[in-house]
């Protein structure tokens, strides 16, 4: 795994909606996997999910790094540098 400036500067905010993807919960949608924004704690669904809300959150906020919100997974992804950390 590589490093980048954004991955090195991540925070550990509490998840805003620990029960699932914020937008999917509001709209009655479904998700495949969940991602947590490491800037604000937003929980969004992955790009394999119909809503792709984690990526939409990045595009709307420029918050650069998400972490898997799946049990047992510890990886992070930087959208800016397309880097896994």
User: What is the tens place of the pLDDT at every residue in 6-56?
Assistant: 999 889 999 999 999 999 999 999 999 999 999 999 999 999 999 999 999
Residue 65: give its domain's CATH number.
Answer: 3.30.40.10
What span, in angstroms and rounded, lies between the C-alpha atoms of 6 and 10? 6
Indicate the burial class of 52 (C-beta count within 10 angstroms; 0-12, 13-18, 19 or more): middle
Residue 2: per-residue pLDDT: 55
Helices (H) and strands (E) in the chain, counts: 3, 5
Does the pLDDT of residue 3 top 80, yes or no?
no
Global pTM?
Answer: 0.93
Q: Which domain holds residue 54?
A: 5-84
When divided into structural domains, the chain yields a total of: 1
């Amino acid at each position: 795994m590589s490093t980048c400036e954004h991955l090195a500067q991540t925070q550990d905010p509490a998840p805003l909606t620990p029960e699932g993807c914020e937008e999917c919960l509001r709209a009655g949608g479904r998700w495949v996997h969940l991602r947590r924004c490491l800037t604000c704690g937003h929980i969004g669904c992955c790009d394999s999910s119909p809503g792709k809300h984690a990526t939409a959150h990045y595009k709307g906020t420029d918050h650069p790094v998400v972490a898997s919100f799946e049990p047992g997974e510890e990886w992070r992804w930087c959208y800016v540098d397309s880097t896994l950390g």
